[in-house]
């Protein structure tokens, strides 16, 4: 899908924009929910994302066109908009960065165009947050490093918007690099850009078109079940977070965990953290077949032990493997959203056609497939 925020800007505001920016969405290769457990994740920025055409105004008004609406607010009144909820991600970014001394004297006209499927779990909210953060930072007298934009964007989502999330999404959208995935320790925020080597293969995103609605899901139940298990284990083990615990110790003290579901949740989190470490090493060495085996193990774990995949995402992965993919798993928070698969390039088109047809027959939903590649993080593009 081609983006044309410049055309939208001309149509809505009646003059030419002076700048353009792009922020990518993200896909998490493996490490699901490990960010709530102090573990590692392995995301990458992708080529799908949000483009912004921008011009600086002479007053302190910000006008933003997106979702067929133009919404305005003043830099002197950074309060939530009760009518248009999407604009609050933008207001919140100004608010959080201003708290850090990163602020602008004049407002903007901004037109947005997106290639990210709505509600797909490819981090459209984080993508928008770091996009706006990048624009603000570009025009602020006090400029900050990319990591500070990441932190401000997470605070925007958690505090201003009131939505629970880890730091992975904002980190990937801001810190991504072409040809690399991000091996991130969510406990220490230490990271390295790890080579993404899958020569002769494609990475494909499968959008289930079953929108993710975490407020309607059992997300909070999973967090609670994890915490209950940790409370039980505190009597026997020393740890700061779930991923500090070894699988051996988890098995040793399994009978001390009162709720069997808590054991299953911890088993997934601890084992998936180990899979992230292994997958990063395999990818950097181009060992695609072994990497795909880890993907398959990861999906079984997040589906059976953490129970957040559901019929649609399980079906996508099963059909991708039936069609000839080497590895497949859900990506993101689950309860709808997307899956990924890896296949030999010569088989990719055939597998995509098989998945789309079989998935429609089994679920009634239409699936879209996108070949994905690691992309740069948010940046000015002209």
Domain boundary among 194, 223, 252: 194
Beta strands in the chain (DSSP E): 19-28, 40-41, 43-56, 61-66, 69-74, 108-114, 180-185, 190-195, 201-207, 327-331, 338-344, 368-372, 379-380
Same domain, residue pair 25 and 130:
yes
**Percentage of the chain exceeding pLDDT 70:** 98
Taking only the tens place, the pLDDT of each residue in 152-175 is 999 999 999 988 778 999 999 999
Give which of 49, 64, 140, 68 is closest to 99, Cα–Cα: 140
Tell me: the pLDDT tens digits for 337-347?
A: 999 999 999 99
The residues carrying an active-site annotation are 169
Distance CA 277, CA 90 (A): 35
Residue 226 lies in a domain: yes
For the ranges 4-18, 111-125, 203-217, 368-382, the lowest mean pLDDT is seen at 203-217
- Please determine, for residue 121, whether its predicted confidence score (pLDDT) is greater than 80: no
pTM over 0.85: yes
Of 194, 214, 239, the one marking the end of a domain is: 194
So what's the pLDDT on residue 1? 54
293 with 161, same domain: the answer is no
- d(CA 347, CA 143) in angstroms, rounded, equals 47
Are 155 and 274 contained in the same domain? Answer: no
**Residues 305, 164, 128: CA angle, nearest 5 degrees:** 115
Q: Residue 361: enclosing H or E segment and its boundaries?
A: helix 348-363
The answer to whether position 210 is within a domain reads yes
62 in Cβ contact with 108 (< 8 Å):
yes
Residue 120: is its pLDDT beyond 80? no
**Residue where a domain terminates, one of 146, 164, 194:** 194
Read off the pLDDT of residues 312-369 as tens digits, 9 standing for 90 and up. 999 999 999 999 999 999 998 888 899 999 999 999 999 999 999 999 999 999 999 9
* Full residue range of the structural domain in which residue 268 is found: 201-372
Total structural domains within the chain: 2
The answer to the question of residue 378 being in a domain is: no
Mean pLDDT value of segment 245-266: 98
pLDDT recorded at residue 220? 79
For residue 185, pLDDT beyond 80:
yes
Nearest to 288 by CA among 327, 315, 316, 321: 327
Please report, for the domain that includes residue 46, its CATH number.
Answer: 3.30.230.10
Q: Do 315 and 356 have their domain in common?
A: yes
82 and 132 co-located in one domain: yes
174 and 302 part of one domain: no
Q: Which residues contact 147 (CB under 8 A, 6 or more apart)?
A: 174, 175, 189
Are residues 39 and 175 located together in one domain of the fold? yes
d(CA 245, CA 233): 10
Per the prediction, the chain carries an average pLDDT of 94
Per-residue pLDDT band at 215 (split at 50, 70, 90)? very low
* Helical axes 146-155 vs 168-175, angle rounded to 10°: 150
């Amino acid at each position: 899908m081609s983006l044309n925020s410049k055309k939208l800007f001309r149509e809505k505001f009646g003059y030419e924009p002076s700048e353009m920016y792009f922020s990518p969405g993200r896909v998490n290769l493996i490490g699901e929910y490990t960010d709530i457990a102090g573990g590692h994740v392995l995301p990458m920025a992708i080529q799908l994302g949000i483009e912004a055409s921008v011009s600086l105004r002479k007053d302190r008004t910000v006008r933003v066109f997106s979702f067929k609406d133009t919404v305005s607010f003043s830099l002197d009144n950074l309060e939530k908009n009760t009518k248009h909820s999407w604009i609050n991600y933008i207001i919140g970014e100004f608010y959080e960065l201003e708290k850090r001394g990163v602020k602008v004297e004049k407002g903007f006209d901004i037109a947005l165009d997106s290639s990210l499927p709505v509600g797909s779990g490819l981090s459209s909210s984080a993508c928008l947050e770091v996009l706006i953060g990048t624009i603000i930072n570009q025009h602020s007298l006090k400029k900050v490093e990319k990591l500070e934009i990441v932190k401000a964007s997470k605070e925007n989502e958690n505090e201003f918007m009131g939505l629970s999330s880890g730091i992975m999404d904002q980190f990937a959208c801001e810190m991504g690099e072409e040809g690399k995935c991000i091996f991130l320790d969510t406990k220490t925020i230490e990271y390295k850009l790890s080579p993404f080597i899958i020569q002769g293969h494609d990475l494909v995103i499968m959008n289930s078109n079953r929108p993710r609605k975490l407020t309607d899901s059992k997300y909070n139940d999973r967090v609670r079940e994890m915490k209950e298990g940790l409370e039980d284990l505190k009597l026997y083990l020393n740890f700061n977070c779930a991923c500090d615990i070894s699988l051996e110790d988890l098995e040793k003290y399994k009978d001390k965990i009162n709720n069997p579901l808590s054991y299953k949740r911890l088993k997934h989190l601890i084992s998936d953290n180990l899979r992230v470490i292994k997958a990063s090493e395999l990818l950097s060495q181009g060992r695609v077949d072994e990497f795909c085996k880890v993907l398959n193990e990861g999906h079984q774990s997040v589906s059976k032990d953490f129970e957040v995949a559901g019929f649609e995402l399980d079906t996508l992965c099963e059909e991708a493997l039936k069609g000839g993919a080497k590895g497949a798993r859900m990506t993101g928070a689950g309860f709808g959203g997307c899956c990924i698969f890896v296949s030999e390039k010569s088989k990719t088109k055939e597998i995509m056609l098989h998945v789309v047809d079989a998935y429609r027959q089994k679920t009634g939903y239409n699936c879209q497939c996108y070949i994905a590649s690691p992309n740069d993080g948010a940046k000015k593009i002209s």
